[in-house]
Structure formats: C-alpha cells, structure tokens
A = this chain, B = another copy of it.
C-alpha cells in the first residue's frame, strides 16, 4: 500500500484524490490546504487527516505527495518533498520561472526521488493511442505535427493576472504534446499573438489568440493554434503527418445522437470543459505514476519534461515580443 499526502484540496485536488482512492493499492493519509474547510471536506470524504506541510512530510509512512496547490507553491513543495525523500506527482507547471524550475530539478536530482509532472493530455486515450501508433510505425517517419487547442471561454481576468501569460499557462500543454509527438526537440520557435477575444486581455498585458511554428534539427515542422474562446466548447485536436500517412485525434462529444431535419444534419458539440474531456486522462496519469512508483520504473513524464515545455513557452513569448524567430541551443 502506497501512502500519500496531498497538497491542495481545490477542484483539481478533488479529482486527483478521487482517482487515488479508486486506483487500488494506494491510500490518502494527509490533506494540506490553506483553506481549512476545503482540506477538512476532502480529508473527511476519504478518511484522511488534515495537517500542515511539515507534519505531512515528516511522516515516514508517507511514500509520495500530490502537489495540486496554487502554481506559486509547486516548486517549494516539490523541493521540500524531495528533501524529505518523497516521490512527487506535481501538477503542471512546476513553476513560471525557469530559474526556480532549475532549483527544483536540482533538489529532486540530489534527493534521487522520482518526480512526475502532470501533463495529463499524454494520457488521454485518443492522444495516447495516436502516439503509440506513431511508435509502431503506422505513418512512417513523422514530418509535420499540427495541434489545435482552444479553450471554451476566457478564464477570469484575476486568474490571467497570475497565470504567467497564455504561452506559459495554456500553450505549455501543447508544447509538451509537440515534443512528445515530434520525437525530437524543436530548435526554432516563431509566434504570432493577438488579442481578438477581449480587449481586457490586452490591457492585462496578455494575448488570447496565437499561432506558433516550430522546427526541429532534422527539419520536422510543427504548428500550434490557440484561442482562449471557442463558441462550441473545448477544442482539442491533433494531426500528425508522416511519410506513410496521417494520424488524427479529435474531440469527443457527450452522445452519438444525430438529428437530420429540414435544416441540417447535426450532432453534439464537443465536451465543453477540460474536466470532462480529460476525465480519463486524469485517472490514467495518476495510475501511471503509481505504477511507475510501485514497479520502480522511470516516470513516463518527468521533471525535465516540465522544464523543457517551459523553455518552449519562454521562446514563444520572446518571439512574440521581439517579432523574430527564436533559436534554441
């Protein structure tokens, strides 16, 4: 039985706790949250104990931590957990600052603990199958990757203010997908950004729409398009072209019902929100973390992946700000 302490009892914390309980072979010992009521509610539901960070990390029966607290606490908690010798499941991003990410990675390396970064999309059944089928050679050598990633609607401006900006907050998922699907690191990034959804975003110094191009050393090409709004819901699609064909993975809809009438033939919109669309992915990523831990195998998504996605986000931001392509070492 692997025993867990969880930091963060909010929306995403509740999902991880539920998946942990349903996973089997795992138990939730502690819940830590600055919001005491939220901590009590979540702990109560699963027979866990509310405590503080120090106590949780000092308990030698705790094998692993789930870090699902606010972004600015991720790195410190990960460093503390690493020093306490706990395995780490950390929500993305590790941090918005590359410097602090590096400090975190150093601590993790020094402690020799496994660290998993929650790029949940790699565990979406469709994206995971697409990736696996590339690996089996179904389309030959990968040549181009096209990622469409659109949120159903703008988050609150207060959230945007602390989000690190669209590239670090939203596109970071797409940068991870791009690296994973290209199978090779991008060496050059070019980005256009616009504010087309709401002028308030521009006032807040951010963008709500963007298109990015990336190129790898061997010449593979990648495109990412983003918008903070899609009238029809959460739009998450991937298209990979190889020498022998094309693999695509698209949206899922709540039902398969199709209506044909005198106007049109119409089906459901895509699932509206990331919690619905990626419900299976959240379950699968925690299971992958637990399985790697139990079998002492390498983490399928590690701290270095968390860092590299941020490097690409920084490059895109720099490209957008300078108007020039950015080369990566």
Contact = CB atoms under 8 A, between A and B. Distances in A.
Contacts of A194: 143, 215, 219-221
Contacts of A197: 143, 243
A213 B243 CA distance: 23
Given A219-B195, A232-B245, A246-B235, A264 B260 contact: no
Contacts of A60: none
A223 B220 contact: no
B267 A257 contact: no
A139 to B, nearest CB: 7
Given A213-B211, A267-B266, A268-B264, A190 B257 contact: no
Interface stretch (A80-88, A97-105, A248-256, A289-297): A248-256
B192 A213 contact: yes
Contact of A249 (B188, B219, B257, B266): B257
Interface stretch (A70-78, A126-134, A157-165): A126-134
A259 to B, nearest CB: 6
Contacts of A210: 221
Nearest to A241: B227
Nearest to A232: B260
28 contacts: A138-B259, A138-B261, A144-B211, A144-B227, A190-B190, A192-B215, A194-B215, A196-B243, A223-B223, A229-B243, A230-B241, A230-B246, A230-B260, A231-B262, A232-B260, A232-B265, A244-B262, A245-B260, A245-B261, A247-B257, A249-B256, A251-B256, A263-B269, A265-B268, A265-B270, A323-B325, A324-B325, A325-B325
